[in-house]
Amino acid sequence: MDLQLIGSRAIVTGGSRGLGLAISHALVGEGARVAVVARDPDRLAAAAAELRAAHPGADVLVIATDTTDDASVRTMVSRVAEEWGSVDVLVNAAAQPSFSAASAELAHLTDDDVAADFDIKVLGYLRCARAVAPFMTAQGRGRIVNISGLNARRTGSVSGTIRNVAVAALTANLADELGPSGVSVTVVHPGMVETERTPALVADRAVSSGRSETEVRAELAASSSLGRLVTPEEVADVVAFLCSPLAAAVTGDAVSVAAGNRGVVHY
């Protein structure tokens, strides 16, 4: 299927590794020009090299950006617009993973921890959307995809649930405001994704729970309807579709890419 993304000008935050890098691969593979955004210049350089090697002739721009800093975000968006004329696609994926050894109990959950989590993910997404919106509305088209997570639909991590529900709420509000100008905004809820961080995270949970890594992995897999973790590429394929003109009528809603969420009825 032709997703009609050839020549599209895309920004992927958190794009230097993991899910963000997989999304960058998917978009470049569809012919989009992609600005890969992250904080670490070395990781960005490695990501650019990987993308160009996998997709000869790819138009890739790397920009070191801190999404907790509004000035940094605006400078990044301005540079993309200067290089390519405007912005057609924004994928917000810059966030710390919420899967950890154990969620802090209420007595040990600090204001600073929650505020930092919220600043990186929710306000970071807001800053990026706010910066690209004028370009998208001026041209009468655009796609914004916010990467959230299944913690939006379950308990177990106070901070993780708060931030992911907030991303969904942000998405719906932006969709209503920007929709009349031809800009769609969607949120994707990945489940547990098999990235380069997963082995360490599984090991941490195994140590904290006194179980083996095999048992932890089996528990995580059993929580999905398909009985397995999802791959970054599986999530990236869905995100690429949502970034495309073919998904023009999808906005304000959430799409789960999690191999199914057992025991949950969502409607």
Structural domains of the chain, count: 1
pLDDT for 134-175, tens place per residue? 999 999 999 999 999 877 676 667 777 888 889 999 999 999
39 occurs within a structural domain: yes
223 occurs within a structural domain: no
204 occurs within a structural domain: no
Which pLDDT value is given to residue 196?
81
56 occurs within a structural domain: yes
What is the identity of the amino acid at 140?
Answer: G
Distance (Å, whole) CA 36 – CA 20: 9
Distance of alpha carbon 111 from the chain centroid: 24
Distance (Å, whole) CA 155 – CA 61: 38
47 occurs within a structural domain: yes
212 occurs within a structural domain: no
118 occurs within a structural domain: yes
15 occurs within a structural domain: yes
For 116, residues 6+ apart whose C-beta sits below 8 A from its C-beta are: none
Could you tell me if 15 and 7 are in contact, meaning their C-beta atoms sit under 8 angstroms apart?
Answer: no
pLDDT for 12-28, tens place per residue? 999 999 999 999 999 99
Could you tell me if 124 and 68 are in contact, meaning their C-beta atoms sit under 8 angstroms apart?
Answer: yes
Q: Quote helix, strand, coil % in the chain, to nearest 5.
A: 50, 15, 35
pLDDT for 82-122, tens place per residue? 999 999 999 999 987 655 445 667 777 888 888 888 899 99
Give residue 186's domain range: 9-193+230-257
Q: CATH code at 243? A: 3.40.50.720
Whether pTM > 0.75 for this model: the answer is yes
Which pLDDT value is given to residue 220?
81
